[in-house]
């Protein structure tokens, strides 16, 4: 039997582990980074934050054939472990792309009061498809975790108008 392909990605954030963890469980934040692509548009993000619950994120993307049509990629996860703010694990599948789900495990490691390291492992299995998609999967997670950094650190500024204190 072949060894399972496991994609590992690490990212450090300048916020607490609780804030990083909560971003994964809050639809308003998760919908800004989970499975978001440069050319896609997140249409829907629903999260049921309990073991046995899950998430659905629907992303409208252009077809690769170059015409002007689009398709909706539906990303689903079923939570198998939720231990705030230390660990999150889920069985993951993408609409019509995968017959079986794969396991994603995320560890949130506090490095100080406002520093957290996120360590993500995605067990793709041992199939030829897993080997063929390893690099694409790794890059997808890297992109998402970089977007998460922007979600966590982007400030929104309130503007005051004259006479409105």
Structure-token pair, residue 59: 């992303």
Q: Which structure tokens are listed for 24?
A: 């994964």
Query: Tokens for 67?
Result: 């015409």
Beta-carbon count within 10 A of 23 CB: 19
Query: The tokens 């495990």 sit on which residue?
Result: 105
> How does DSSP classify residue 64?
T
| Cα–Cα distance measured from residue 12 to residue 96, given in angstroms and rounded to the nearest whole number | 33
C-alpha–C-alpha distance, residues 101 and 34, integer Å: 17
For residue 21, the tally of other CB atoms under 10 A from its CB is 21
Q: Which domains does the chain have, with CATH numbers?
A: 5-61+71-152 (3.30.530.20)
pLDDT on residue 59: 86
Task: Note the pLDDT of residue 73.
Answer: 82
- Percent of the chain exceeding pLDDT 90 equals 70
Q: What is the pairing mode between strands 70-83 and 87-94? A: antiparallel
Query: In the structure encoding, which two tokens stand for residue 35, read together?
Result: 């499975």
pTM: 0.86
What pLDDT shows up at residue 15? 96
Contact by Cβ (8 Å): 3, 127: no
pLDDT, tens only, 125-154: 999 999 999 999 999 999 999 999 999 988
pLDDT the model gives residue 42: 86
For residue range 54-71, list pLDDT tens digits in order.
999 998 877 766 666 777
- Between CA 158 and CA 165, with CA 164 as vertex, the angle to 5 degrees is 75
């Amino acid at each position: 039997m072949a060894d399972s392909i496991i994609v590992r990605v690490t990212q450090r954030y300048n916020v607490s582990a609780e804030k990083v963890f909560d971003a994964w469980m809050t639809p308003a934040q998760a919908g800004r980074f989970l499975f978001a692509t440069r050319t896609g548009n997140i249409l829907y993000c629903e999260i049921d934050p309990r073991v046995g619950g899950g998430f659905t994120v629907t992303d409208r993307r252009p077809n690769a054939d170059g015409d002007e049509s689009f398709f909706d990629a539906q990303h689903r996860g079923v939570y198998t472990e939720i231990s705030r703010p230390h660990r999150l694990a889920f069985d993951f599948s993408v609409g019509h792309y995968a017959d079986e789900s794969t396991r994603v495990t995320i560890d949130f490691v506090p490095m100080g009061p406002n520093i957290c390291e996120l360590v993500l492992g995605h067990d793709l299995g041992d199939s030829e498809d897993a080997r063929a998609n390893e690099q694409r999967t790794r890059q997808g997670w890297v992109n998402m975790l970089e977007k998460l950094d922007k979600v966590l650190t982007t400030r929104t500024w309130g503007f005051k108008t004259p006479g409105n204190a």
